[in-house]
Copies of this chain bind each other. A is one copy, B any other.
């Protein structure tokens, strides 16, 4: 730090004064370099980056017409396909299928009962035929019947031992670098960043602090029922095989209201399951920003939208044009996709 000379000082040597003068120039140059630093270096210059930075500039400008007080700067992010990769299948589904295989020896009935038999015999057609209901059966069977702590440990161990089939890196490194910068940029500007995802809360929470800097109390997801039980030594919370709330589609604004109790001023998603969250945010009387990540990059990541079974973006793409939502063209707008030196950039 540069120490300013005291006002009344007249005996300072010329040499010292000269040094200080140079220091002042360097310091001032550094200061302006910091001010001009790009908070979103992995974003190409283009409409999405400009829209984000204009919005943040407006809502944080003290005394400006669009100023929003800090406590109302709520930003909500979908997770799968918005903050990290969701192809060829949701990370949580990959976990679920492996857990079914791991648990199968204790469940001989799964050899014939659907959708478990389909998973164990790699029968993709039967699995698809079981639909959302079948998927929920798989989730409930693998996500319940243990305490919260036990489940957290199972998830953490699986993540440490697994990797993405295409990118050959841990799933935890398949997060989107431009979105990490966006999270940090918003927080640096007083935003409280939340995850609002269809993923199950207990699956996401062991990850979100480390991956995204989002603490557990700012993670909203699909919730299963739970039960407080007093054991002989200590109480535990047991995960039950029942759905309390599905955090997808209309469930997203319902859960935002239930958990946060404020309407966001910014919302980020990538699929039709995010439409209602973006609509809800767009109905805020305060200035607001809605953004969809469009996966257009078959080389560095994946290209999919209206026909995809995971992260389908069909109605949302149509609605985005009508409602002036920002659409990120991943291939054109992102300089890099994943963080680190091994990124497929």
Contacts and interface: CB of A to CB of B under 8 A. Distances in A.
Contacts of A279: 230, 235
A221 B178 CA distance: 37
Interface stretch (A10-18, A40-48, A125-133): A10-18
Interface string A1-34: 0011110111111001000000000000000000
A251 to B, nearest CB: 8
B228 A276 contact: yes
A157 interface: no
A309 interface: no
A257 B9 contact: no
Contacts of A71: 215
A223 interface: yes
A163 interface: no
Given A226-B254, A244-B245, A253-B237, A259 B217 contact: yes
A24 to B, nearest CB: 15
A219 interface: yes
A262 interface: yes
Given A216-B262, A262-B216, A257 B11 contact: no
Contacts of A223: 258
Contact of A261 (B5, B216, B250): B216
A253 B235 contact: yes
A8 B9 contact: yes
Interface string A189-214: 00010000000010001000000000
A135 to B, nearest CB: 22
Contacts of A283: 234-235
A227 interface: yes
A260 interface: yes
Contacts of A333: none
A283 B11 CA distance: 65
A257 B224 CA distance: 12
A280 interface: yes
A99 interface: no
Centre residue among A254, A258, A259 by max chain B CB count within 10 A: A258
Nearest to A223: B258
A8 B8 contact: no
B10 A11 contact: yes
A297 interface: no
B254 A227 contact: yes
A201 B223 CA distance: 18
A228 B254 contact: yes
Given A234-B283, A235-B283, A217 B261 contact: yes
Across the A-B interface, the 6 shortest Cβ-Cβ residue pairs: A216-B261, A6-B6, A228-B250, A234-B283, A217-B260, A228-B253
Interface of A: 3-6, 8-13, 16, 71, 148, 192, 201, 205, 215-217, 219, 223, 226-228, 230, 234-235, 237, 244-245, 250-251, 253-254, 257-262, 276, 279-280, 283
Given A235-B283, A244-B258, 12 more contacts: A4-B6, A6-B6, A201-B258, A216-B262, A217-B261, A217-B262, A219-B261, A223-B258, A226-B254, A227-B250, A228-B253, A228-B276
